[in-house]
Amino acid sequence: MNSKRLPKRSVVGISVCAAPGSVCTGSLQAGTSDTHGKAIAAGVFEIIQACKNDPSTGSSFYALMLDEGTLKKCPTEESVMNRADLKTTVHGKHSHAGLEKIPFYYKSEEGVPELEQKSTLVPNGRKLEDRVHVDDKRSAGRLEDTKKDPLPQSPAPVHEQIRLQMSSYIPVPKHRRPLGHVDMEVMAATVLTTLSTSPLVLSPPSGTPGADPCSRGWKEALSASYSSSTSGNWSWDASDQSVPSPPSPPLPVDTNKSFLLSSQSDDNIEESVTTHFLFEDPIPRKRKNSMKVMFKCLWKNCEKVLSTSSGIQKHVRTVHLGRNSDSDYSDGEEDFYYSEIEVNMDSLSEGLSSLTPTSPTTTAPTPSCPLRDPPDSEPALIRPWGGKTLTPLSQSAPSTLCHIRTDHAYQATVPVSIPVSSKFVPSENGISISWQSPPVIFKGSPGSLTQIRTVSIGEKRQPLQHTTVPKTHAALPSAPKPATGTRKPRGEAKKCRKVYGMEKRDMWCTACRWKKACQRFID
DNA sequence: GTTGCCGGGTT
DNA sequence: AACCCGGCAAC
């Protein structure tokens, strides 16, 4: 993928696995073609609504729903595994590593399918791409064996074959209109609810070896997807070394989102909730604690943050993608250009509360990274703390936070008060926040956040070395500033006035000369 | 009273 | 943005 803008995606697959006795759902969607453009099961779309293990029989049940609305029940995982139209495998005896990330199949704009496998956990030492190919070949071969039809050209035969292969299925009226994704999710929720009431679910057995890794894998997959969707840096998990350099803006693809991406609906919040419900994601509970999910535009130099995904989608679609603002049509491409972030609303409100006329920081300009040296009015004075050189990287990244430790930097506040420098603008799409900081995940209690300032010890100060702000630095939404309206306590360090005296006022730092907070002897 | 510095004004 | 200063609050 060399292009910065990823091709449109049409299909996303998500693996599904379940702990013994547990329930999980996900979508498993057969693509229209494999990585070589070979058509397999074109048009077949199905979702594994749920699966659970039956320890008494050792088998698993899979509830499958085909795109025409047929709900099927597969008594064994093999019956799922052997499905010719499945591009990916559900957990099985041969994938005991448990965690599999299913490749994301993107359909490029040229119509040439591409495999965008971003993250691969190799269960059996095999690359997942290889695995997919093998599976595809195996599937194709099975088709050939059974039907003597080398390449099924239409979905209909495949469907028929699926029906033949299924040991049982739950019939659904065929004349039913094709399900929308929301309907599918509702149905999935229904299935989930049904299954979750099973005693097997309520008292999961302690471990069938074959299924246990699945549970772990599922949890890990969830965890990985969540972390990747909220970490703010768009690196994949540690096992993922095959990620190409991310496009600009980075690609926020995670499992959950991939699940959602199959939908063209604008109402992704509801979907998200549904998804969380379906996945029994602990995230909502976590977020109850004043954590609000915001959606941040990842477009370069765009810091737009909206409270709703539809809003950010519309923003991306209209502002960056140049789509018609009237049209709600979404091909999902916008999803690449925004990410989900968590905002600690407590911190935010705290920051907002400081946006009062009495706030001493409201006029704080956005931290910037001036490359130039400040005009040095004191050539004889050694100032190791001033005039540091910034790397080109820090220049090119406007959102990169930089410490400014020049004598003129008194106006540049320490970049910690993100909410303070935020603009909180209500909009029709929800709350819009614009800030000049990188995507930040606010985690942990605000009380644990401390304002980081360069510590000076007397006049022997080390050159500023942590130009690149540590990650923890960015996670300082609301440095516990003194209560709004109160002054910053007077520092302990001597200031230029005391050090140099009035007679050497020209040796003072500029801030001191201007009766600003001393920048040379920072507390 | 001294000192630090915020807020605001001027250039 | 750089510069300046009134005024406030902590010492």
Protein CA A514 to sugar C1' B1 (Å): 21
- pLDDT at position A183, please? 53
Residue A302 is predicted with a pLDDT of 74
Q: A353-360 — which CB contacts under 8 Å span 24+ positions?
A: A353/A484, A354/A417, A354/A420, A354/A481, A354/A484, A355/A420, A355/A424, A356/A484, A356/A485, A358/A484, A358/A485, A359/A420, A359/A484, A359/A485, A360/A487, A360/A488
Distance in angstroms: CA A55, C1' C1 = 73
- Asked if A15 contacts A221 with a C-beta cutoff of 8 angstroms, the reply is yes
Measured CA to C1', what is the nucleotide nearest A515?
B5
What distance in Å separates the CA atoms of residue A85 and residue A165, rounded to the nearest whole number?
11
Residue at token pair 């091709």: A7
Spacing of A320 CA from B3 C1' in Å: 52
CB A402 within 8 A of CB A390: yes
Q: In the complex, which nucleotide's C1' lies nearest to the CA atom of residue A510?
A: C3
Tell the burial category of A203 from Cβ atoms under 10 Å away from its Cβ (0-12, 13-18, 19+).
Answer: exposed
Helix, coil or strand: residue A198:
coil
Q: Which nucleotide is nearest to A516 (CA to C1')?
A: B5
| Spacing of A411 CA from B7 C1' in Å | 13
In this structure, the protein residues whose CB atom falls closer than 7 angstroms to any atom of nucleic acid strand C are A 365, 374-375, 377, 408, 411, 486-487, 489-490, 510, 513-516
SS (H, E, C) A480-521: CCCCCCCCCCCCCCCCHHHHHCHHHHHHCCHHHHCCCCCCCC
By C-alpha to C1' distance, C10 is nearest to A490
The CA–C1' separation of A294 and B9, in angstroms, is 39
Q: Which residues, given as ranges, of chain A have pLDDT below 50? A: 1-180, 182, 191, 194, 196-289, 346-485
Interatomic separation, CA of residue A202 and C1' of nucleotide B1, rounded (Å): 75
Q: What are phi and psi of A24, to 5 degrees?
A: -145, 160
Give the CA A4 to C1' B4 distance in Å: 51
Distance in angstroms: CA A448, C1' C5: 38
Q: Are A441 and A341 in contact (CB under 8 A)?
A: yes
Name the nucleotide with the smallest C1'–CA separation from A511: B5
How far apart CA A354 and CA A508 sit, in angstroms, is 31
Record the tokens describing residue A58, joined without a space: 């050792």
The pLDDT value given to residue A321:
78
Q: What is the pLDDT of residue A347?
A: 47
pLDDT for position A344: 58
Question: DSSP for A129-146?
Answer: HHHHHHHHHHHHHHHHHH
Q: Gap from A301 CA to B11 C1', in Å?
A: 32
Bases along strand C below 7 A from a protein CB = 1-7, 9-11
Cite the DSSP H helix spans in A282-410.
283-288, 309-315, 345-353, 392-396
**Chain B: nucleotides under 7 Å from a protein CB?**
3-8
Nucleotide C3's nearest residue (CA vs C1') is: A514
- Interatomic CA–C1' length for residue A514 and nucleotide B10, angstroms: 13
User: In degrees, to the nearest 5, what angle opens at C-alpha A505 toward C-alphas A500 and A510?
Assistant: 105
Note the pLDDT of residue A523.
Answer: 65
Residues 6 or more apart in contact with residue A346 via CB below 8 angstroms: A290, A446, A478
CA–C1' nearest nucleotide, residue A517: B5
From the CA of A433 to the C1' of B9: give the distance in Å: 31
Nucleotide nearest to A486 (CA to C1'): C9
Residues with Cβ within 8 Å of A98's Cβ and at least 6 positions away in sequence, in order, are A17, A91, A123, A212, A213, A214, A215, A216, A217, A218, A220
pLDDT of residue A308: 78
**Residues close to nucleic acid strand B (C-beta < 7 A):** A 357-363, 410, 487-488, 490-491, 494-498, 512, 514-518, 523
Residue lying closest to nucleotide C8, CA to C1':
A487
Residue A42 gets which letter from DSSP? Answer: T
Nucleotide nearest to A356 (CA to C1'): B7
pLDDT for res A98: 33
C-alpha dihedral, A493 to A499 to A502 to A505, nearest 10°: -100
Q: Determine the pLDDT at residue A134.
A: 34
d(CA A341, C1' C2) / Å = 38
Minimal CA–CA distance to A83: which of A12, A16, A177?
Answer: A16
